[in-house]
Structure 1
Amino acid sequence: MANILVVDDEMGIRELLNEILSDEGHVVYSAENAQQARTVRDQLQPDLVLLDIWMPDTDGVTLLKEWSKDNKLTMPVVMMSGHATIDTAVEATRIGACNFLEKPIALQKLLKTVNQALERVLPKEDVFKSTSNVIKEYSTTMLVNAAEKTGIFDASRQVIDGESVLPGSADAELNPGHFDLPLREARDIFEKAYFEYHLKKTGGSMTKVSEYTGLERTHLYRKLKALGIDVRKAGSNGN
């Protein structure tokens, strides 16, 4: 987990990056201009800054120069822009930026760039930690709990070698009441339990849930929102 400062005058960009990086377990601070960025940098000492180049008051390159001159470039800085030239990117790198992200920012590129930048300042095991708490692996019992809670299965747990396991398909029965529901409603009940299980299993890591379920991250975000799933709450182990 890292403390990351996102500096961008566009609210939509700030909110999007905040959502994505928070779901990866990072603490995200936002600033809409250079003055706010200075304050957050001085007071909170972020581990990484994502800095937009084009801002109305002071542009990102000028702020980067200021930090470098004042010996405040103590954290990696990744520049962001949708209109910057190669010369601008080269200049920012010369001043001290560690990388450059072109807008619109591709999700996988963002996560890869953030991880690479954080490798400079954080222990490797902390870079890929998806939440602030270390979440133990959940057994298949968690799926049984989620399924029983939503009423999908009227199934008894089987205990094998002292561990609860999900009964086989021959032993599991759908709640008859669900056959009277419209297909979409019955499907939503199952999908909610399914995604909550995987969020718990991965400690709330959207990257891992995306890999396990085969859904692209953007689609996954929309799906969870439509199902009314709170990612942080679903990924908690309840401690």
Structure 2
Amino acid sequence: MANILVVDDELGIRDLLSEILNDEGHHVDLAENAGQARIACRDNQYDLVLLDIWMPDTDGVSLLKEWSLNAQLTMPVIMMSGHATIDTAVEATRIGAFSFLEKPITLQKLLKSVNQALEKTQAADPTPVAGAALRLMATEVSEEVATAATSHLIRAMPREELLPDPHQGFDLDRPLREARDDFEKAYFEFHLAREGGSMTRVAEKTGLERTHLYRKLRQLGVELGKRRMNR
């Protein structure tokens, strides 16, 4: 069971998320604005925060930045929005947001994102900027926003952050599509290695259907046979 804070100015959203998460065995507190969220985080320790971006007093990105600057960002934060933009996705993820949920929020997307975020403390993230890009590639925002935001992050990465292995790097002096293909290959190889070659677990971690995952790995030239033999 996890302690979760839901911050959203819409009563219907708060009630829906609270009902779903309570049914999953979690303890849920609710806040309808940034002021209430500040008080809740001051008085309680949360394992996860679901934070709406557009709120009347202080928007979610500004509150996230406030927590980060004050060293209060000690829990994963999932941003929620009905109209996420590329700039918003890049900014929030750079600040420290774990991922995004695009409204309307489905039960499947909610539970998958919550479970992934709660697992964050069980495994160390890659370097901050690289970790941000990895999560955006499997985020729940629209493909257009995720693709463009990931591209922005890749271009902004220091060379040493591009791969989990610090001894590897990318040649960035080439077309973006080629650089992104290499980054995606490194991303999937990282997860395959961490999951011992289990396609089922990698599919769950990356949020892809198994058939899509197989097709993607073949397209990127990832050697699946060798990985299975080395398990």
User: Structure 1 length normalisation: TM-score?
Assistant: 0.50
Cα separation, partners in 2 of 1:122 and 1:36, compared to 1, 3 Å = farther
Question: How far 1:122 moved relative to its partner?
Answer: 6.1
Q: What's the counterpart of residue 61 of structure 1?
A: 61
1:8, distance to aligned residue in structure 2 (A)? 0.1
State the Cα distance separating 1:9 from its structure 2 match.
0.1
1:121: Cα distance to partner? 2.9
Instruction: Name the CA distance, whole Å, in 2 between partners of 1:121 and 1:63.
Output: 22
Contact 1:47 1:121 in 2 (8 A): no
Question: Following the alignment from structure 1 to structure 2, what is the Cα–Cα distance between the partners of residues 51 and 57?
Answer: 14
Which runs of 5 or more residues in structure 2 are unaligned?
A: 124-231
SS in 1 for 2:120: coil
Local SS of the residue matching 1:120: helix
Counterparts of 2:28 and 2:115, CA distance in 1: 14
- In structure 2, the partner of 1:90 is 90
Amino acid at match of 1:84: A
Match of 1:12 in 2: 12
Indicate whether 1:45 and 2:45 are aligned. yes
For 2:55 and 2:122, the matched residues in 1 are separated by 29
Q: Tell me, in whole angstroms, the C-alpha distance in 2 between the residues paired with 1:122 and 1:46.
A: 16
SS of residue in 2 equivalent to 1:89: helix
Q: Tell me which residue corresponds to 1:28.
A: 28
What letter corresponds to residue 45 of structure 2 in structure 1? Q
Distance in 2 between residues matched to 1:115 and 1:89, nearest whole Å: 20
Which runs of 4 or more aligned residues in structure 1 lie more than 4 Å from their structure 2 counterparts after TM superposition?
Answer: none
Higher helix share: 2
Number of residues paired by the alignment?
123
Task: After TM superposition, list the pairs within 5 Å mapping 1:1-239 onto structure 2.
Answer: 1-121=1-121
SS at match of 1:121: helix
Amino acid at match of 1:32: E
Larger Rg computed on CA atoms: 1
User: In structure 2, what is the Cα distance between the partners aligned to 1:112 and 1:86?
Assistant: 22
Closer/same/farther in 2, CA of residues 8 and 44 from structure 1, 3 Å limit: same
**Match of 1:233?**
none
Partner of 2:199: none
Hey, what's the Cα distance between the residues in 1 that align with 2:99 and 2:88? 12
Matches of 1:15 and 1:46 in 2, distance apart? 18
Tell me, what secondary structure is at the counterpart of 1:68? helix
Tell me how far apart the structure 2 counterparts of residues 76 and 82 of structure 1 sit (CA, whole Å): 20
Measure, in 1, the Cα distance between the counterparts of 2:2 and 2:55.
Answer: 25
Aligned alpha-carbon RMSD (Å): 1.2
Name the counterpart of 1:229.
none
One-letter code of the match for 2:41?
Answer: R
Instruction: For residue 57 of structure 1, give the secondary structure of its aligned residue in structure 2.
Output: coil
Please give the alpha-carbon distance, in whole angstroms, between the structure 2 residues aligned to 1:77 and 1:91: 14
Bigger relative contact order (CA 8 A; separation at least 6): 1
